[in-house]
Amino acid sequence: MEKREKILVLIKELLIVTVGSVIYALGLSMFLDANNISAGGIAGLAMIVTHFIDIDLGLMIFLMNLPLFIAGWIRFRNKFLIYTIYAIALSSYVIDLLADRFPQYMPLTKDLMLATIAGGAIMAVGMSLIYLGGGSVGGTDIIIKFLRQKHNHIGTGTLSFFMDFTTCILSCFVFGGYELGVYAALALYVQGIVMDKMLYGGNEAKLVYIVSTRTEEISQRLLSDLEIGVTWLEGVGAYTGESKKVILAAFRKQIYQNVRQIVKEEDPDAFMIVTSASEIFGLGFRDHFADEI
């Protein structure tokens, strides 16, 4: 029965990643790329490269991700990376398929504002589904993970913003004009808003309690992989009378899926309570005296 449940979970995750990959490809291909609006990240860089080289966008996205996949597989060999490779391969195929079979719909609209908002939102829905399924859209996610190992004083959000901002600036020169760069930045902003609502419901932070037989293993991965502060609370099971260590952790909402993935990998039977934290004061969060300054 346990094996059957694992297979069903695997099928569910792959289905979610598959649907997300197709939606992501639709938003990128039919709205942003068709109007020369940069998508940010590796996809945005691929759009710039294909402007100079006669090669399909989907193929270029996959080729640019390939060395990152290899490096990631050597360093971070896990299910997350496998799902990421699958998501990029499928979305790249769909992007090129749409361009070959339905050129009459490229772009679906020539209204740049509509294309920016619709494309950014549709891509965000697809990306959110891929993340919820256990994968990612590759590219900058892998690069950031490598950079954070050597420069952990720089936040993930800062690195991500810098890479996307650089792509937007490049698109201004490549596609002829600052207006397309502004639209690219707006598309990234729309993506962030939509993904924020889909993945985290707009909450400021997350607070979790984890009861597990693998407390130390989970704590160590939260500390080393995500650099999340962990506190152990002493607990006693009312029914068994056994003493247990309960993990208490507060973290930024953006990494909730990573926390959940670690718990699933280390102890699928763990009991985890997730709640929202509207405000957190202290190291890594808000200053106690921020309101008075």
Specify the DSSP class assigned to residue 281: B
Neighbours of 223 (CB within 10 A): 13
What CA–CA distance (Å, rounded) separates 115 from 35?
Answer: 8
Better pLDDT: 160 or 267: 267
Specify the DSSP class assigned to residue 207: E
Better pLDDT: 268 or 158: 268
DSSP string over 98-126? HHHH-GGGSSS---HHHHHHHHHHHHHHH
State the chain's mean pLDDT as an integer: 82
Highest mean pLDDT among 45-54, 89-98, 252-261: 89-98
SS3 192: helix
Domain with CATH 3.30.70.120 in the chain: 205-277
Strand order in the sheet with 243-252: 230-236, 243-252, 205-211, 271-277
In this prediction, residue 179 has a pLDDT band, given cuts at 50, 70 and 90, of confident
Pick the CATH number of 205-277 from 3.40.1390.20, 3.30.70.120, 3.40.640.10, 3.80.30.10: 3.30.70.120
278 contacts 261 by C-beta, under 8 angstroms: no
- Per-residue pLDDT tens digits for 1-47: 577 888 888 899 999 999 999 999 999 999 998 898 887 778 888 88
Query: pLDDT at position 290, please?
Result: 46
- Per-residue pLDDT tens digits for 192-245: 788 877 776 554 678 899 999 899 999 999 998 888 889 899 888 887 888 889
What CA–CA distance (Å, rounded) separates 169 from 165?
Answer: 6
The pLDDT of 108-112, averaged and rounded, is 90
Query: pLDDT at position 142, please?
Result: 67
